[in-house]
A and B are shown apart, each in its own frame.
Chain A
Amino acid sequence: MRILVVEDERKIAEVLVSALTTEHYDVVVAPTGEDGFFRANAEAFDLVVLDLMLPGRSGLEILQTLRRRHVETPVLILTARDAIDDRVLGLDLGADDYLVKPFAVPEVLARVRALLRRGRPSEVFRLKVADLELDLVARRANRGDRLLDLTVREFELLEYLLRHQGHLVSREMLARDVWREPRRATPLDNVIDVQMTRLRKKVDAQGSVRLIHTVRGVGFVLREGQP
């Protein structure tokens, strides 16, 4: 999987490269808008991560020109938090998703996974990790032969963790995707933490292997063994 990162700020580009490389993607960095446009136009990529605030050629221009030339590579745009108009414009011009700076790495990876997965059948009725099993049709969760008594919210949370199994899930992602709140706020963070504690008590009951792990300062991850 080849990913083109068009980003002029060196440190941000480095963070993106190391995060994506860890996930075994093949990453190419274009430090200027011209370079980015040239590469995106000439080479084959599975995904373009495009910063909208570039010196010289703006990200929006590049996006527009690429789409006009029928380069349909999925594009994930990066914008500043206060540039709401850019974000809307970017999506209108054919971007597939956006991320606001400063972004969290787990979030970037999740978006990248989602965009690369797009277009492929993803219908699953069962999710499984170790001896934890979720039946999405019957809305039932089992740990080994123990049936877990979960509330609706807890089930959704567990499903989300399972869908991202092995990957970090940030509080922002949970707030948006599970709680469907447009904005992360302190009360919601507390709600997420309490909910997670309760879920963990039910899933990782005494005697079973720990599956839900808290990664301090980042979020949560569901996996077998240590993160």
Chain B
Amino acid sequence: MRWVAPSIRVRLTGWYSLVLFLMLAVYASATYLAVRHEFFEQLEDQLHDDFESAEGFLVPTADGHIAWATERHHDPDEDEDRGIDVWAADGQPIYRSGASAALPPVALPAATAAPRYESLTAHARQWRTLTGTTLVGGRSVVMRVSRSEDRLRAQVGEILVVLALGLPLVVALAAVGGYLLARRALTPIDHLAKEARRITADRLHERLSILNPNDEIGRLTAVINDTYARLEASFEQLRRFTADASHELRTPLTVIRGIGEVSLKDTRTAAEYQDGIGSMLEEVDRLTNLVDTLLRLSYGDAGTVRLTPEPIDLAALAREVTASLAILAEEQDQRLEVDASEPVEATVDRLVLREALTNVVDNAIKYSPKGSAIHIRVSADGDRAVLAVIDEGPGIAVEHRGRIFDRFFRIDEGRSRDRGGTGLGLAIARWAVEVNGGRISVESAASGGSTFRITLPRSPRKGENV
């Protein structure tokens, strides 16, 4: 089975507790070691004091021996935990207290050395001892003072227990606190998720509620709402496109079907049949054209069109397009002119951009009155190259301007179809311009006349800084 990461709040709490635990563990260990060290130092200080005071009990006797002046010191309370042993230089014991009787005797050669501390074990009890030599009445004796470590170890043990029990408790409390805090902090996200789940494809117009627009969650919600808005727009676009496309496809199909059915109804002359079939073929042609164009646009949408950009002179391109469409303008006594004072270069896919310009100019010819003029102005504007197609047509109403580049958008349905238009010319133009890194826009004055403006990144010409 695959391990599934738990929720963020559990993970947050986990990490938080682990880090806290590690920090506290280091802190507790250091404390414990310091206290323990301090306690043992104190014990050794006490042993040192014991040693010095015990020296006072040793007195030389008249017979040249050394004796333990018992009567001068007796403290029965300490008998259990303290011991003093004294040996003469020759190893004869001079005094051995009760408590320390169990301890092994001192190895005499060692006693000649400097005073030393050591730990001894006897009858399951641990002792700390200080052994040293001292002179009593000019004679050397070996003396060992001992103290039991039991009480000290018990104290250190208690501290250890307090630390060892307290640490998990503190961590556990912190974890609970952390978990509650994390839950509190993350609750709005859960809330957000619940709200977002409610918004399905059918309810895209709904938005998430923003509690505090200034905090992180508020900003996140705003971003999500923004995404919903775009999603809604593209759903709407798709819906409209699907409806338009099926309408456009259905129209020729209806015509074909109608002609076929009418032709078969009665016997007709060969010329009539030919006319009918020809008419059907025209519609087939229209359908083919439509499907091809849609296919190209969908390639464009999918970004699978391979471009071959090269630096070209837009003025030359404008003249080329004008030359190829001049015949259409002539038919309507329109003047088609290119205004370009100098070459303006842009790095684009020539064929794709030419198609864009062709469609825009064709559109201008189509909608301009007889005898009017259409200008293609090529100019450089800083680092931008601008192709403006200016006509003297009726202009485009403000409400249509936003949609003029949409697929299948037509201001005048019947007129465009009569000219064999698919309603995709300007959509193709927009795609062709944008895929070349440019923008296309339209301006129109209330008095009439439209300007289609294609703006492209300009390529610097030799020896010129743009």
Query: Interface digits, B282-297 against A, CB 8 Å rule (1 contact, 0 not)?
Result: 1111001100100100
- B397 is an interface residue with CB less than 8 A from chain A: no
Q: A-facing mask of B319-335, CB < 8 A → 1, else 0?
A: 00000110110010000
A191-B327, A216-B279, A217-B284 as given contacts; A185 in contact with B355, CB under 8 Å: yes
**CB-CB contacts of A194-225 with B at 8 A, as 1s and 0s?**
11001000000000000000011110000000
Chain B 37-62 interface 0/1 with A at a Cβ cutoff of 8 Å (1 = within): 00000000000000000000000000
Residues 250-292 of B contacting A (Cβ, < 8 Å) = 274-275, 277-285, 288-289, 292
B133 at the interface (CB under 8 A from A): no
CB distance from B62 to the nearest CB of A (A): 126
Given A194-B331, A216-B275, A187:B325 Cβ within 8 A: yes
B358 contacts A by Cβ under 8 Å: yes
Please judge, given known A-B contacts A186-B289, A187-B325, whether A217 and B282 are in contact too, CB under 8 Å: yes
A185→B278 contact, CB < 8 A: no
Which A residues, 171 to 188, have Cβ-Cβ distances below 8 Å to chain B? 179, 182-188
Q: How far is the CA of A81 from the CA of B292 in the complex (A)?
A: 8
Which residues from chain B contact A186 at a C-beta distance below 8 Å? 289, 362, 419-422, 425
Contact of A187 among B275, B279, B358 (CB under 8 A): B358
Say yes or no: B419 contacts A217, CB within 8 Å.
no
Cβ–Cβ < 8 Å partners of A46 in chain B = none
Is the Cβ of A187 less than 8 Å from the Cβ of B280?
Answer: no
State in angstroms the CA–CA spacing of A184 and B275 once bound together: 24
Instruction: Answer whether residue B359 sits at the interface, using C-beta atoms and an 8 A cutoff.
Output: yes
Q: Which residue of B lies closest to A179 (CB)?
A: B324
B279 & A189 in contact (Cβ 8 Å cutoff): no
| CB-nearest residue of chain B to A197 | B331
Residue of A whose beta carbon sits closest to that of B271: A226
Q: A217 touching B281 by the CB < 8 A rule?
A: yes
User: Is A102 in the interface zone, CB < 8 Å from B?
Assistant: yes
**A190 touches B (CB below 8 Å):** yes
B445 proximal to A (CB < 8 A)? no
Question: B434-448 interface mask toward A, CB cutoff 8 Å, 1 = contact, 0 = none?
Answer: 000000000000000
Q: Tell me whether A102 and B328 are in contact in the complex, defined as CB-CB below 8 angstroms, given that A186-B425, A190-B362, A218-B278 are known contacts.
A: no
Question: B176 in the interface, Cβ–Cβ < 8 Å?
Answer: no
Cβ of A81 to closest chain B Cβ, rounded Å: 7
Min distance, Cβ A217 to any Cβ of chain B, angstroms: 3
Provide the residues of chain A in CB contact with B189, threshold 8 Å.
none
Contact of B362 with A187 in the complex, beta carbons under 8 Å: yes
Q: How large is the interface on B (under 10, 10 to 19, 20 to 34, 35 or more residues)?
A: 20 to 34
Chain A residues near B421: list those with CB within 8 A: 186
B281 touching A185, Cβ below 8 Å: no
A214, chain B: closest CB distance, angstroms: 9
B327:A217 contact, CB within 8 angstroms: no
Whether the pair A191, B328 counts as a contact (CB closer than 8 A) is yes
A22 to chain B, nearest CB (A): 15
Query: Does B351 touch A at the CB level, under 8 Å?
Result: yes
CB-CB < 8 A to B282: which residues of A? 216-217
User: Complex formed: what's the CA distance from A186 to B283 in Å?
Assistant: 14
Q: Which residues of A contact B355 (CB under 8 A)?
A: 183, 185
A184 to B289, CA, bound (A): 8
A219–B419 Cα gap in the complex (Å)? 17
Residues A126-183 near B (CB distance < 8 A): 179, 182-183
Chain A proximity mask over B358-378: 1 for CB below 8 Å, otherwise 0? 110110000000000000000
A82 at the interface (CB under 8 A from B): yes
Residues in A whose Cβ lies below 8 Å from that of B279: 216-217
Instruction: Give the contacting residue for B295; candidates A81, A102, A194, A216; CB below 8 A.
Output: A81
In the assembled complex, the CB of B1 is this many whole angstroms from the nearest CB of chain A, namely 44
B420 partner, pick from A81, A183, A189, A218, beta carbons under 8 A:
A189
The interface residues of chain B lying within 8 Å CB-to-CB of A188 are: 324, 358
C-alpha spacing A87/B104, complex, angstroms: 106
Closest to B354 in A: A181
Which A residues form the contact surface with B (CB < 8 A)? 81-82, 102, 179, 182-191, 194-195, 198, 215-218
Further pairs besides A186-B425, A187-B358: 18, Cβ < 8 Å: A179-B324, A184-B289, A186-B289, A186-B419, A186-B420, A188-B324, A188-B358, A190-B328, A190-B420, A194-B327, A194-B331, A215-B278, A216-B274, A216-B278, A216-B279, A217-B277, A217-B281, A217-B285
Q: Please name 22 pairs of A and B residues whose Cβ atoms are closer than 8 Å in the assembled complex, sorted by A.
A: A82-B295, A102-B288, A182-B351, A183-B355, A185-B358, A185-B359, A186-B289, A186-B362, A186-B421, A186-B422, A187-B358, A187-B361, A188-B358, A191-B328, A198-B327, A215-B278, A216-B274, A216-B279, A217-B279, A217-B280, A217-B282, A218-B281
| B residues with CB within 8 A of A | 274-275, 277-285, 288-289, 292, 295, 299, 324-325, 327-328, 331, 351, 355, 358-359, 361-362, 419-422, 425
Closest A-B pairs by Cβ, 6 of them: A217-B281, A216-B278, A187-B362, A217-B278, A217-B282, A194-B327
